Amino acid sequence: MLIGEQSWEFQNKPVILGTATVVGPDEGQGPLGDQFDVVHQDTKLGEDSWEKAEKRMLEEAAKLAIQHSGVAKTDINFYVGGDLMNQIISNSFAVRSLQIPYVGVFGACSTSMESLAVASMMVDGGYAQHAMAATCSHNCTAEKQFRYPTEYGSQKPPSAQYTVTGAGAAVIGKQGSGSGPVVTGATIGRVIDMGIKDPFNMGAAMAPAAVDTLQSHFRDFNREPGYYDLIVTGDLAKVGYAMAKELLHRHGIPIDKTVYKDCGLMIYDLENQAVQSGGSGCGCSATVTYGHLLKRLAKGELKRILVVATGALLSPLSFQQGESIPGIAHAVAIESGE
Beta-strand relationship, 259-262 and 38-39: unpaired
* 188 DSSP 8-state letter: P
Type of residue at 243: M
Residues 225-273: pLDDT tens digits?
999 999 999 999 999 999 999 999 999 999 987 899 999 999 999 999 9
> What topology does CATH give the domain 2-173?
Peroxisomal Thiolase; Chain A, domain 1 (3.40.47)
CATH numeric code, 182-335: 3.40.47.40
The answer to whether the Cα torsion of 288, 67, 170, 102 is positive or negative is positive
Judged against a pLDDT cut of 70, whether residue 179 lies above it is answered with no
Residues 16-38: pLDDT tens digits?
999 999 999 999 999 999 999 99
Could you tell me the pTM of the whole model? 0.95
| Concatenated DSSP letters of 72-105 | -GGG--EEEEE-SSGGGHHHHHHHHHHT--EEE-
Q: Residue 200: its pLDDT value, please?
A: 81
Q: Residue 338: its pLDDT value, please?
A: 67
Distance CA 282, CA 234 (A): 9
List the chain domain ranges.
2-173, 182-335
Range from 5-19, 139-153, 181-195, 244-258 carrying the lowest mean pLDDT: 139-153
| Selection from 251, 197, 199, 189 nearest residue 225 by Cα | 251
Q: Residue 198: its pLDDT value, please?
A: 82
Q: Residue 112: its pLDDT value, please?
A: 97
- Average pLDDT on 76-101 reads 95
Distance CA 75, CA 73 (A): 5
Phi and psi based region of residue 160 (left: phi greater than 0; alpha: psi -120 to 50; beta: remaining): beta
Count of positions (residues) in the chain: 338
Half-sphere exposure for 13 (CA within 13 Å, toward CB): 14
Q: Residue 177: its pLDDT value, please?
A: 45
Q: Residue 80: its pLDDT value, please?
A: 98
